[in-house]
Structure 1
């Protein structure tokens, strides 16, 4: 992949060293649908690409540390149309040559990557852009581009063609997926939503979304809220706020706001219905207009959304009914209790909160709690009686500390906990490690993601060295009396049953499940979608997709039930089974072993080869694995 940069243009905001901002972006004069005809793109792009950039906290990026933002994209070698944005980076389409050229750029650092041309050109396509990573530099980020188009739609099924670009491979790949229901993909109703690594495109009918899961390569339809007969949608938007999918639609009389409470069941709940007439009466400083353009939800405040009235952007708080001009709203107004309707802080008289501690809005501190001088508590955090936040500790929004929970340590180091986490009764998180190589005074770290639940009497330790850190991802359930030692790396969506013990430097990938009283030896690597039976002692790496159990854990076969629950299709399971059988037959663990297997398996098992190399196979393990990997007809129906 070619990387180009204007001379001297690689300006990096090194002083901030923070995550790139979110670009909510009001993309003016920019078509949502991208045409393969450059003359059509130029006709739609009559002005330079202007957008309203907003960072994660809601501030206008035209001032402050992001003041060097180049919103005209003058550093690009040619004029460009903004297609999508993600994690502070923009996906653009240039008009330099007849065929389509895509460019990924960072308007803060002024870096850009010219991408190779896709294999297929469509009159119009719906494009999704996913960018991940924490670096300021574009070279440290990973991104994917998905170009979607309906190839054929019949009464019972629809074929969706996808062109996928990955920054890891630097190449475009083609996919053709079949959905069991007919649908029409819209390229004009707004950019697709990317939520939890799943992409949601819009349909023409306003009745459903098209859900595409890249992990499972599966396309499904998700219904949108039903509307009344007299409700004619003039403008709508699907987005996310505070970790939930939200949907808003407006006509000339009303604005409705919905929240998707259960993604699997498709259950929507209406949170607000606002009269358009009452909105303008509440804000006489705003000129009344017929058309209301719904642009974005605020990522950290469900009560705020960005709308346009006669082309002018406003923040609208649909609880207070107040409209504020985009460039007139500052951070303090936006998150004050009068503007958002959140409760003021409650601190019990018996609690001890240091005056230097930083507390967000709506924080509740119960009796006999302590908050240290270096602590930072996000909005709506709740500390139940007898809980303590010590040392250099930062809690994200909506975190809960149950009775007796202790987070952080007065020793040098940092404990960073994301949003919507629950720390159970008498759990201890972010304290000094139990490792003899730890040197007193060393700064050690613990980082926890979002939506985790750490139950009663669990313990999570900081790293043992300054250049390492203990890390836990998102959406993990860590049950009672579990222990996660120093320098462990835990991924996402894992379940650790009671008394699961992880020694130092253990790596656990995603979607793993351990039964009770599991012990994992230090430096072990546990692959994704694996299962460890109760009472097992794991002293070797566990390959992906397998089950292990025993006093000295041995392989017991593929984790068929776990794969079924995670939505793996039958062909994926058969390919995994074929791969494992081939490994057992050859007993030679090298790259050539996979030559006869579909390339999709290579994507499914990028790390599995390494895990198999390090695993020693007792004869009993080979017997069990051969028995379970030879899938028979009795096992196949569970995947339909």
Structure 2
């Protein structure tokens, strides 16, 4: 259902069930799935791929050109998964030649005034509180919760099930299952409450805590700690995920307690 005061390019691919409020602009190279609602004054630009049953609130801009001086107008997309809520004045820019796409997953809540820059990848079930700012090529994994006003440096990687303090300045990778905060950013323990809410057993949470004791409380550097973890702790999905994250970190993981 399209209001007569909205502009929708006739070549845009929009499911008939999509609700489009007044003063919306939808450009040519756009696809929107069934059951989605587009609030007033939303701008959806070329390259947008929006899934089913999403809600996009007034003032949001989806698939705007990247704020990257290397961008030369190459074809790229911004993908929004199913059942995701984009609140007021959020901006999600499309990709560049680097990756070609920006992705926000399914079942996410992206609160007002957040920015997701070019080539970012945001997983499923992520919550980004108000005014979170993600620079280019940031990766945020599934079930992460990002506190309001956090600033995330380009190329940083935030692992799954992380709880990040509001106002945090993130310039290092944050490994899975932890809380991070303080200034400068640091490890602040395992996100045990969040993990329990998502069905992790007490035994699994204890195993995760033991893994991080080696990384952050043993006095070992990361490489030595990882070797000790592999040698001394039983293999589990969570243990191996933490090891892989640390080994693959390009920016280095956040420091421990001081």
Within-5 A mapping of 1:74-473: 364-409=1-46, 414-440=47-73, 442-465=74-97, 467-473=99-105
- Determine if contact 1:589/1:612 at 8 Å carries over to the other structure: no
Specify the alignment match of 1:549 in structure 2. Answer: 181
Structure with the larger RCO, 1 or 2 (CA within 8 Å, 6+ apart)? 2
Decide which structure has greater strand share: 1
Residues of 1 paired with 2:78 and 2:138: CA distance?
Answer: 14
What TM-score does the superposition give when structure 1 sets the normalisation length?
0.38
Using the alignment, how far apart are the partners of 1:567 and 1:432 within structure 2? 40
After superposition, the C-alpha distances for 1:63-101 in whole angstroms (9 at most, x for unaligned) are xxxxxxxxxxxxxxxxxxxxxxxxxxxxxxxxxxxxxxx
Structure 2 counterpart of 1:615: 253
- Once the two structures are overlaid, the 10-residue window that deviates more, 373-382 or 472-481, is 373-382
Cα distance, 1:612 vs structure 2: 6.6
- The match for 2:227 is 592
Question: Post-superposition shift, 1:466?
Answer: 7.0
CA-CA distance at 1:616 after TM superposition: 5.0
Measured in 2, the distance between the counterparts of 1:408 and 1:616 equals 36
Q: Return the alpha-carbon distance in structure 1 between the equivalents of residues 65 and 140 of structure 2.
A: 21
Superposition deviation, residue 454 in structure 1: 0.2
Please tell me whether the aligned partners of residues 156 and 173 of structure 2 are also in contact (alpha carbons under 8 angstroms): yes
SS of the counterpart of 1:592?
A: helix
Higher radius of gyration, 1 or 2: 1
Query: Structure 2 length as normaliser, TM-score?
Result: 0.91
Distance 1:616 1:565 in 2: 25
Q: Distance in 2 between matches of 1:428 and 1:505?
A: 19
1:553 deviation in Å? 1.6
Residues 109 and 128, structure 2, Cα contact 8 Å, conserved in 1: yes
Aligned residue pair count: 252
Quote the residue 1:573 is aligned against. 205
C-alpha contact (below 8 Å) 1:517/1:534 kept by paired residues: yes
Q: Deviations over 1:491-536 (max 9, x none)?
A: 0000000001100000000100011111101000000111111111
Q: 1:395 to 1:570 in 2, by over 3 A?
A: same
User: How many angstroms does 1:432 deviate by?
Assistant: 0.6
List alignment gaps of at least 5 residues for structure 2.
Answer: none
Q: Does 1:481 align with 2:117?
A: no
Q: Is the 8 A contact 1:525 1:611 kept in 2?
A: no
Runs (5+) with no aligned partner, structure 1: 1-363, 624-640
